[in-house]
């Protein structure tokens, strides 16, 4: 049985792809959120959390693929 995940907009995905290339993020959501606050101006809390969550997810996938 396949469980569908949350749908993210193209804007979030494009932003994360661009941000990941330039920064060293971790698999920790809180650290990623703080890093986004320090380096980028994201006016909406919800948008920042979505970006941080998607960054975290991508980092976990990247880490799993290394193993």
CATH at residue 19? 1.10.60.20
In a domain, 3, yes or no: no
The two most distant CA atoms of the chain are separated, in Å, by 41
In a domain, 49, yes or no: yes
Q: Alpha carbon 51 to chain centroid distance?
A: 4
**Residue length of the chain:** 67
Number of continuous H segments (helices) and E segments (strands) in the chain: 3, 0
Average pLDDT of 17-32? 93
In a domain, 48, yes or no: yes
In a domain, 47, yes or no: yes
Average pLDDT of 40-58? 93
pLDDT of residue 19: 92
In a domain, 1, yes or no: no
Number of domains, the chain: 1
What distance in Å separates the CA atoms of residue 28 and residue 53, rounded to the nearest whole number?
9
- Among 45, 42, 49, 54, which Cα is nearest to 10's? 54
pLDDT of residue 5: 63
In a domain, 50, yes or no: yes
Average pLDDT of 14-37? 93
The answer to whether 27 and 59 have CB atoms below 8 angstroms apart is yes
Rounded to two decimals, what is the model's pTM?
A: 0.82
In a domain, 38, yes or no: yes
């Amino acid at each position: 049985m396949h469980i569908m995940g949350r749908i993210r907009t193209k804007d979030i995905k494009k932003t994360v792809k661009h941000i990941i290339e330039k920064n060293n993020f971790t698999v920790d959501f809180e650290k990623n959120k703080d890093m986004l606050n320090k380096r980028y101006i994201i006016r909406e809390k919800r948008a920042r959390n979505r970006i941080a969550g998607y960054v975290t997810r991508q980092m976990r996938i990247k880490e799993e693929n290394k193993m």
